[in-house]
């Protein structure tokens, strides 16, 4: 099934959709309200996510919720780099969630093996050259501008076609800047300059996104506003972010069945189960039901240099 999902050079090769756990080292995240802002707590949380089944953990120090203001570079570095260093030293596969080249460079030096840039390299002109020089994989997300005003940019005639075209242009810029194509992952940017209807259309169009972009696909739906709208229905207020984990797991199973390379989630356990079930269904469709792959059992943070990690 790895051929279906795409191989990302420089990362482990999972036989199913991978699960990326989120570690927000921020005081103002929409999803957890600063619960992991303390560095020690953030490290513990990251290891807990791995033990719950996360294949990699994504560490970020700057909120990108709608309306969020940016933090300065020094503060982002202070938040992120020590957490990356501790998690990597404990054997976790660590991604850094940043739009700044300097943060990416220092996080890579501390042990991060993937850069997840929600701007797709657009926010900082030094980002693509920095990632190219480091030779690490790069997540290119669909992005139309900073969080402070991105809701005003949510205008599409055909959201799937336009996201494909804009992502393709971002991938082309990254490759032209020296990042190897086989190291690029694409993310449709659910919730970023999108309405709930746009997000649902993109989920319905995952097969088209994969086919047209021909790159491994990261789906980051966890706890987002569109899930709150779906759960609220025609009446009532959307449930708070931390009450959207069951809906997130449903999206994770759908995304895995549609061939996503990874899902990015705040609560790992249910999504880890969801991708395993999706893998079992794939096996049944192929005529050979097999175990659902390498989701780690609880208490099994791998040692540094464990087999399969490149």
Angle between helices 245-257 and 268-285 in degrees, nearest 10: 30
Q: What is the pLDDT of residue 299?
A: 38
Give Dmax over CA atoms of the chain in angstroms: 54
Q: Starting from the edge strand earliest in sequence, which strands make up the sheet with 114-117, in order?
A: 184-187, 138-141, 114-117, 94-97, 56-60, 18-24, 262-265, 218-219
Distance CA 309, CA 229 (A): 39
pLDDT per residue as tens, the chain (310 positions)? 444 688 999 999 999 999 999 999 987 554 454 554 578 899 999 999 999 999 999 999 987 766 667 789 999 999 999 999 999 999 999 999 999 999 999 999 999 999 999 999 999 999 999 999 999 999 999 988 665 666 767 789 999 999 999 999 999 999 999 999 999 999 999 999 899 999 999 999 999 999 999 999 999 999 999 999 999 987 778 998 889 999 999 999 999 999 999 999 999 999 999 999 999 999 998 886 555 554 443 334 443 333 332 2
d(CA 167, CA 161): 10
Of the residues 16, 194, 210, 224, which is catalytic? 224
Active site residue 264: yes
276 is catalytic: no
102-130 CB burial, b ≥16 within 10 A, e <16:
bbbbbbbebbbbbbbbbbbbbbbeebbeb
The reported pLDDT for the residue numbered 46 is: 96
The DSSP letter of residue 115 is E
pTM above 0.85, yes or no: yes
What integer pLDDT is reported at residue 71 of this predicted model? Answer: 87
């Amino acid at each position: 099934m790895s051929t279906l999902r795409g191989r990302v050079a420089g990362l482990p090769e999972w036989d199913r959709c991978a699960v990326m756990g989120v570690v927000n080292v921020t005081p103002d995240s929409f999803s957890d309200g600063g619960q992991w802002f303390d560095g020690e707590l953030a490290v513990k949380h990251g290891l807990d996510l791995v033990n719950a089944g996360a294949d990699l953990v994504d560490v970020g120090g700057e909120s990108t919720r709608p309306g969020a203001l940016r933090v300065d570079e020094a503060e982002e570095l202070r938040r992120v780099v020590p957490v990356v260093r501790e998690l990597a030293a404990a054997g976790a596969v660590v991604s850094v969630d940043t739009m700044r080249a300097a943060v990416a460079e220092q996080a890579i030096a501390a042990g991060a093996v993937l850069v997840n840039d929600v701007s797709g390299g657009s926010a900082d002109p030094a980002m693509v050259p920095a990632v190219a020089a480091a030779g690490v994989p790069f997540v290119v997300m669909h992005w139309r501008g900073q969080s402070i005003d991105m809701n005003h940019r949510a205008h599409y005639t055909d959201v799937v076609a336009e996201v494909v075209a804009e992502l393709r242009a971002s991938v082309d810029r990254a490759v032209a800047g020296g990042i190897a194509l086989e190291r690029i992952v694409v993310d449709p940017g659910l919730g970023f300059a999108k309405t709930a209807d746009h997000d649902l259309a993109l989920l319905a169009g995952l097969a088209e996104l994969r086919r047209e972009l021909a790159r491994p696909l990261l789906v980051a739906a966890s706890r987002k506003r569109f899930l709150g709208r779906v759960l609220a229905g025609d009446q009532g207020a959307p449930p708070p972010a931390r009450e959207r984990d069951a809906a997130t797991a449903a999206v994770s199973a759908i995304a895995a069945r549609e061939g996503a390379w990874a899902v990015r989630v705040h609560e790992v356990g249910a999504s880890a189960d969801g991708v395993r079930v999706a893998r079992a269904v794939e096996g049944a469709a192929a005529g050979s039901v097999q175990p659902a792959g390498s989701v780690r059992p609880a208490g099994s943070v791998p040692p540094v240099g464990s087999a399969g990690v490149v």
